[in-house]
Structure 1
Amino acid sequence: MTPPAGRERGFRLVALGDSITVGVGDTVGPDAVHGPGWAAHLATVLGAETFTNLATEGARSRDVVGTQLDAALALRPHLATVLVGGNDVLRSDFDARHTLADLHRSVGELCRAGTDVVLVLLPVIGLFELGPRLVRRVMRRRVAAINAAVEEVAGSAPGRVVVVDAARAIAPAGHRAWHVDRVHPSAAGHRLLTLSAAMVLADLDARYAVTTNIPVDGSTSATASAVGQATARARIDALAARLPGAPDPPSVWQRLAWLVKAGLPWCLRRGRDFLPGLLRAVVHDLRAEQAFTPGGMVTSLADSGLDPRRRIGGG
């Protein structure tokens, strides 16, 4: 069945963002007509006539607004995906307010051009969940600051914007949701993120609904809730059938080989910039805790001057 989105003449989908949208962590075969990555698979599921992936590895929010945005607008897409922030939280000059401003401009201009937008909430970065408690806390706060920015932009955008929670989307795969680097989604994680985005879009507009009138056995005594769950499951199964095949997860030896060949060099390159800022953030967090008194402000988000309980744009 041709998806409704695909029946729209010249339906165009454009992806903006970083290495996750590039498709790092994903593996595909010849049946992946648009290449690797969750956004490419979304184009397949929706039956997009054209798909352009403008995402680049290492991109920050300033790269999206500075270079990718103009290219996206020139393509006049019907739908755009924006997933960014992961590289911002890994930098020593991290400031969530910069990401907020960049997202406001990017999403605002896309919406004013008549483009629907999919925004994605970041999951916690699995690599840092393996670290000490203080490191985990700093990184979680940074991710929370980015996600607060995403939610704020979505709530004030001058057009149609949907938000996909990446953490919730990939959770069903458990530890297999992560690529061996524990920074990017695995092939399974990318596909689960695609399914979540497709479901949210289908609820937004029938144009994106790729399945309709899915039969549910009405002869049983199932409750309305159970029927709803069965319908949702049927919709997901129908969407999953459109996805390109996923490979088997890598073996332990393949993971070790990747760690030696690519993982450790990446950590060394990134560490020169990231570790000094991370250490400052940890010290900042400790000092804020020591200075805390009941009834006072708890602590600002690491390197951002923002408390996680306050709106980012609230001054």
Structure 2
Amino acid sequence: MIKLIAPPHLMKVYLKRHCDKLLPLIRTRLDQPENLCLKDHFKTDGEILEILAAKPNDLVPLHEKIVSDLEKLHLPVKVWTALEKAFNETEFFRKERVRYNAYTLVRSLKQPTCLYCNIHQIAPVYLEKKISRPPIDHFFASDLYPGLSLSFYNLIPACTACNTIKSNKPTSTVTHTHPYLLGFGDDCMLTLSNFRNLDDLTGKKIKPFKIVFDNPTIDKRYEGNISLFALAPTYQTYRGKAHWVMRTMDQRSKAAVDSALKLVPGVTDVNYWDVFGVDYEIEAHKRSPYSKLTRDLVRQYASQEIKTLLSI
């Protein structure tokens, strides 16, 4: 739903580190007797690095070609089992501080919110004797593509809910939005149904409304993610957030906004998005929980004065 945002030069650093750290591990695994069949394809470090660093659109075609070529020489079950062992992610997911692993990757990417739902916060937490991190989702399920289990662009930090809902369901960059490639744009906005105006939220009888996706059919990849992650029913459980955003907009005036900002002591250069409970900087706002819901509702329902203050 939200595109992963990181400076390109840093992404190159993260990708290179990922490949450099995992290359020796995989090379060692390929030398094990039960995995020797894979060396008919992975003859040099270049072939290993290719699958570790392949771009999202290239991952599945590359995996299918490797499997097809190897199955011409070996029994399919042997090839599949060897891929599962050689590229197994268990060791990469271990909770150790002294080595490069999934915790290092999540910390480096600095994505505070689930990229699939834009609702739940995700960040590793380091305690004295314990580490907690969000799940790492395989965008292309490891059960279906075992050779992609350690591929950089197949490892997506996600919340527990989205990781569980998605499970091992099949995906593709043609039918779903991949966080490294595409987020939901302004052509597919979260909006409110059964809603006429702000007065519906202020009377004695608050009229019920639903959060829905407007125009999701404009891109089938939007529809794919909405269905895959059950985003429509998920957002219904967070109508309170939409209600709060709408009531905040009911202030309507710059004076009210300025008054709200005074509640944040010591802040001088602040973005007006803070009024809506998100980060000061616009780039940080885009990665905050509910950032799309908040922005979409403001774009549709706020007064022009508020829109001007928020630069939208």
Q: TM-score range by the shorter chain?
A: under 0.3
Larger radius of gyration: 2
Task: Select the structure with the greater relative contact order (CA < 8 A; seq sep ≥ 6).
Answer: 1
